[in-house]
Structure 1
Amino acid sequence: MWSPWRIVGESLLSVAFGLLGAGLAALDHGGTVRIAAAGLAIAALSLLRRTLPASVLLVTAVGSVLFGGLAPLVLVAAWSAGRRIDGVGRAVGTFALAYVLNLGMAVVQALPHLSLPRLVFGVLWPLVAIIVPGLAGRYRSQHHTLTDTLREYEAQQQRERAMIAGQARARERQRIAQDMHDSLGHQLVLISVHAGALEVDRELTGRQREAVGVLREASVAAMHELREVVQVMRDSTEAPHEDRTTPGVAAAAAAAAEDTTALSRGVAGIEGLVGTSRSVGAAVKLRHSGEPCPLPPTADHAAYRIVQEGLTNAHKHAPGAPITVELRYEPDSLVVEVANGPATRTTDNGRGVVSGGQGLTGLGERTRLIGGLAHAGPTADGGFRLAGVLPYTSPEGGIPSPEPGNVTTTFVDPTNTFWQQTPGDSLDEGAPVMNGNGLKELAKAMSRKNGSGIAIGCGMAVLISLLLVIAALGVGGYFLLNKAEEARIEPKQYDTVKVGQPEAEIRKQLPKENSFVTDGLETDAPPVPKGAKCLSLTSTESSNNPDMEPVFRFCFKDGKLTEKKSFEVRN
């Protein structure tokens, strides 16, 4: 749909072309009907050049040879055709046909007096009037298409980056919730176990037992509140099902963003966990086997979390049961195992210790991200076992790569990942994720690959065309001047020739034959004598009337000069 400004501009341009064509028809001594028809036809072709670019180009290419008023429209029609004809093959075919038709019509029209300068002009004129504007229009169209593509690509990249950043923030919040559950929950369980043990101590007085009960209730309430907070954080950032089951780019980024304080709690801190559990009266054994090997920070921290979660679950669900913690160093991985027997006593009097319900799920995800695995389940004697296998080396330096087809972010090229877009940046909520203005960088990269070839090709075509035009003008001007001089004689030569002289004698003094410069001189000339063959030449002297051209005509018959005339024709 055209805008009002486009309608006004096209209307004015059509009127201008129509008036120009009508004016040229009037200068050609055309009648009123011919002038009006020429103006209306050219205006209509100007309006149709956008709707029917190929047809208008072919019509104007042929018509411009027959009527010079169409010559200005050929340039604009070629520009429009270059911009609007779809497909390279169709565009090349249309312009080649227009060139051949224009050249063919020019040659056919000039056949009676065809010469080398006229042929050169006929070859170069459609090249300048049709091919060069078409190439320029084609380049302009491709430039606009490339610019629009760049804008669409940048908008898509911004959407994808925002989506990936949202996933990274969601994973970070989920990680924080998991750490709250693992760390704070473990401490609250220990408080609850301590309080429960004191509450049943017979040596306490009633007031002391009441105070311990208040402490016990406070720890249980804190566990309730912690569970609600963790659940809210997880629910508000819940990823799609595929993202929960398969680690994507954002999940790997979030796991890799563990803070240094958390990572310091690794295998070396397991003895502290065991000691804390023993201090509340739990029977905990710690076993080591194999040659210790260094672990990646994420695997080291995962080992600490597995032991912490196993001890927490044993204190909550099997109070009084013996607990065994084992660290077994295998050739390629560390096996961490926490096993407890069946519960031997109850400390909560039926009130139950609150469970967040997220610990085992978080451990499974944590170990999966570092290339390991976790397992939890009951044992044959009624106890419970939690184990994890942690490799000594994580894939790609601790950041697992998502499997092809499992990446949950759509429309992201595998080579254009979140890590490459923001190298070295932290993935917490305060870190910048997206570049502020990627359109400039994208435009540079795309223009180097896609735009440079177009620009170089069009530039070379324009340069070659200009060189050809300059050469044609030089050669054509040289031949034109020579032909013009050959077709001129001085008035004294005309005066020395007498009627009745032999034709052969006179022709030795005059140019040998008619030139294209003298074409059209017979239009306003006096009638030619019957049976005579005439030679018309121009004068070296100018007429007093600038619109007229002096002409000398010599007519021969039967080998003699039968008539010579001097007259003027319209210049």
Structure 2
Amino acid sequence: MDAKAGVRAGWEWLKGPEPWSGRAFAGDLTIAAVLALLGLGVDELSNSSGQKMVLGVLAIVALMLLRRRLPAATLVLGAAASAFLPGVFLVTVVLGWSAGRRIVGVGRALTAFVLAFLAEVGLGLYDQWSQTRPLLIVVFSTLLFLAATVMPGLASRYWYQRRTLLSALQERNDQLLRERTMVAGQARLRERQRIAQDMHDSLGHQLALISVHTGALEVDPALTDRQREAVGVLRQASVAAMHELREVVGILRDGVEAPPVVEEAQPAARGVAGIAGIVEAARAAGTDVRLGTAGRPRPLVAACDHAAYRIVQEALTNAYKHAPGAAITVELRYEDDSLVVEIANGPAAAPGPGEVISGGQGLTGLRERARLVGGMVHAGATEGGGFRVAGVLPYGTEPAGVAEEDVADDFGQRSQARASVRRTAPPMDWAAVDRELAVPVRSRTGGVAMGCGIAVAAVVLLIIVLGAGMTLLLGSVNKAMISKEEYDSVSVGDSEKSVRDRLPDGDSVLTTGLDRKGPPRPEGTDCLALLSTEDSSTLTNDSVFRFCFRGGKLVDKQAYEVKQ
């Protein structure tokens, strides 16, 4: 049990602060295997021993697995190991990329890269001090470090900071959208409460007066039975209006329907079941209304059921106003996937009593109500001069208003596409974001721009140095190589001056250290080593011509091959 706990603790430590799944672990091992294979090829070209090859493979695998947990340490260790193990040089590209992304803070990152540079250049200079010029080691090591370590680190840091900045901006934009929605909701709630108070104080008072006066009028003995019946209809209508007003006021105040109150007369159910009630009330008032039903009745969800009732109620009200005396047909058709509510009336039987008072918002409200439950409403004149209102309402669709997540944000994108990510993603750690960007919030764009400028400057500098190095290398070829014929034209015993006048001076990076390789030199001689223009026997060897002088004469010349 202790061993398992230790392994689990070691695994958690190795993963570091960021998630490291089994897939990511397999990917790191694959990259390590590829780099190790390429590193073996580099070791083979460098004629490294078997022990160095094994050490190089182990170093590559270890550095790849530890780079997530110890980005700065693995960068320095990898740079130091590349000075003695040529195959490890390839992994410094990955280590530079990882360190640039994972080291928090510009100061820490700069310190890590400087230490890695000093380790690579210093140890390389120590390892090859006796074989070549120190200045050449510093120049070429610097070029390699810039190209293989610094450039990946700058690119990784810029990419990661840009991604962090965009994520922070997106998260804060979402937060602002949520806060804006909350503020708008609070403003709507306050306005609804104000409207509810106004309706309760004004409209409620007027309806109460109507109910009282019609109740008193209904028992007046001077009225006929027909008049008393009409007054009773008015009283019932006023009482029903008071109940509905109370429910609307409760909804406006609290956002939920008010509980029913048992009083003298209850309003008809506000759903499909209540349509027959309002049709009967219209008939009692003297309007010719016919109700028809087709299909097998099916239950609707509450919002759709209430919408059907309101469509019939509003259509009948419009017919009373605009076509008094016209026959009205109300039809409910239960289709396979929706309920069709259709109200149609003919032309007015007689001119209206005067100007009709209308708010002009009834049909607009019906269309919006139907849209919120996933349906639709169509209204228009018929060929015979009448009017028709038809609504299509689904059976099982819940209200589908425009949610906050479906509002376009300032980036021109839909927040709904990010809703699932937002529900699963952890909250943004703003302190970590500020530490990563390492600049004030108002200057982050400038920090990213500065990083881009540094990267561009490093690329330009690298190109200039590489160009200068290639020019120097090509210019020194003529000073370092001779043909076999030139070698044969020189004889032992010739004066040193005549021989040096006929041969190049050998002042080239290509010939550095060649005079100390090969067969032993005669004692007390000064030797000149040049490369042959002809190919050597193997690709890993160079053909060398060496001329040794003593006392102003050529005393020895040798042709041999050395390993590169």
Cα distance in 1, alignment partners of residues 184 and 28 from structure 2 = 48
What's the counterpart of residue 166 of structure 1? 185
Cα distance in 2, alignment partners of residues 433 and 19 from structure 1 = 54
Cα distance in 2, alignment partners of residues 123 and 33 from structure 1 = 27
CA distance 1:200–1:21, shift in 2 (3 Å): closer
1:11 Cα shift? 0.9
SS at match of 1:486: coil
Cα distance in 2, alignment partners of residues 137 and 77 from structure 1 = 11
1:13 Cα shift? 0.3
SS at match of 1:179: helix
Structure 1 residue aligned with 2:75, among 57, 60, 72?
57
Cα distance in 2, alignment partners of residues 563 and 460 from structure 1 = 57
2:108 matched to 1:90? yes
What's the counterpart of residue 555 of structure 2? 562
CA distance 1:95–1:237, shift in 2 (3 Å): farther
Contact between 1:124 and 1:468, CA under 8 Å: does it hold in 2?
A: no
Cα distance in 2, alignment partners of residues 491 and 220 from structure 1 = 123
1:510 Cα shift? 3.8
Cα distance in 1, alignment partners of residues 248 and 96 from structure 2 = 70
What's the counterpart of residue 93 of structure 2? 75
Structure 2 residue aligned with 1:148, among 164, 167, 177?
167
Structure 2 residue aligned with 1:461, among 423, 448, 454?
454
Segment drifting more, 110-119 vs 69-78: 110-119
SS at match of 1:485: coil
Can you give the 5+ residue segments of structure 2 that lack an aligned partner in the other structure?
Answer: 1-18, 258-399, 415-440
What's the counterpart of residue 518 of structure 1? 511
Cα distance in 1, alignment partners of residues 516 and 67 from structure 2 = 36
Contact between 2:480 and 2:505, CA under 8 Å: does it hold in 1?
A: no
One-letter identity of the residue aligned with 2:24: R
CA distance 1:109–1:214, shift in 2 (3 Å): closer
Cα distance in 1, alignment partners of residues 483 and 244 from structure 2 = 118
Cα distance in 2, alignment partners of residues 39 and 521 from structure 1 = 31
What's the counterpart of residue 20 of structure 2? 2
SS at match of 1:529: coil
What's the counterpart of residue 478 of structure 1? 471
One-letter identity of the residue aligned with 1:436: V
Structure 2 residue aligned with 1:39, among 49, 52, 57?
57
What's the counterpart of residue 139 of structure 1? 158
1:440 Cα shift? 1.8
1:540 Cα shift? 3.1
Segment drifting more, 217-226 vs 516-525: 217-226
Can you give the 5+ residue segments of structure 1 that lack an aligned partner in the other structure?
Answer: 239-428
SS at match of 1:484: coil
1:189 Cα shift? 4.4
1:166 Cα shift? 3.2
What's the counterpart of residue 408 of structure 2? 437
CA distance 1:229–1:66, shift in 2 (3 Å): same
1:554 Cα shift? 1.9
Superposed CA offset, 1:79-123 (max 9, x none): 110000011221122223323433444555565643766654343
What's the counterpart of residue 531 of structure 2? 538
1:529 Cα shift? 3.0
- The 5 Å alignment of 1:355-366 reads none
Contact between 1:120 and 1:472, CA under 8 Å: does it hold in 2?
A: no
CA distance 1:229–1:462, shift in 2 (3 Å): closer
Structure 1 residue aligned with 2:249, among 219, 230, 252?
230
Cα distance in 2, alignment partners of residues 546 and 21 from structure 1 = 19
What's the counterpart of residue 190 of structure 1? 209
SS at match of 1:126: helix
2:524 matched to 1:553? no
1:185 Cα shift? 1.9
1:156 Cα shift? 2.2
CA distance 1:232–1:513, shift in 2 (3 Å): closer
CA distance 1:471–1:101, shift in 2 (3 Å): same
Contact between 2:143 and 2:465, CA under 8 Å: does it hold in 1?
A: yes
2:32 matched to 1:14? yes
Cα distance in 2, alignment partners of residues 153 and 472 from structure 1 = 44
2:42 matched to 1:24? yes
Cα distance in 2, alignment partners of residues 550 and 434 from structure 1 = 75
Contact between 2:515 and 2:527, CA under 8 Å: does it hold in 1?
A: no
What's the counterpart of residue 181 of structure 1? 200
Cα distance in 1, alignment partners of residues 212 and 219 from structure 2 = 11
1:431 Cα shift? 9.2
One-letter identity of the residue aligned with 1:480: L
1:551 Cα shift? 1.3
1:220 Cα shift? 8.1
Contact between 2:125 and 2:134, CA under 8 Å: does it hold in 1?
A: no
Question: How many corresponding residue pairs?
Answer: 377
Contact between 1:550 and 1:569, CA under 8 Å: does it hold in 2?
A: yes
Superposed CA offset, 1:531-562 (max 9, x none): 44432211233346555432111223455433
Cα distance in 2, alignment partners of residues 512 and 210 from structure 1 = 132
Aligned-CA RMSD value = 4.3
Contact between 1:53 and 1:81, CA under 8 Å: does it hold in 2?
A: yes
SS at match of 1:538: strand
SS at match of 1:569: strand
SS at match of 1:568: strand
Q: Under a length normalisation based on structure 2, what TM-score does the superposition of the two structures give?
A: 0.56
CA distance 1:499–1:432, shift in 2 (3 Å): closer
1:227 Cα shift? 4.8
CA distance 1:213–1:141, shift in 2 (3 Å): closer
Cα distance in 2, alignment partners of residues 217 and 544 from structure 1 = 117
2:142 matched to 1:123? yes
SS at match of 2:407: coil
Contact between 1:171 and 1:237, CA under 8 Å: does it hold in 2?
A: no
CA distance 1:568–1:163, shift in 2 (3 Å): same
Contact between 1:488 and 1:537, CA under 8 Å: does it hold in 2?
A: yes
CA distance 1:548–1:223, shift in 2 (3 Å): closer
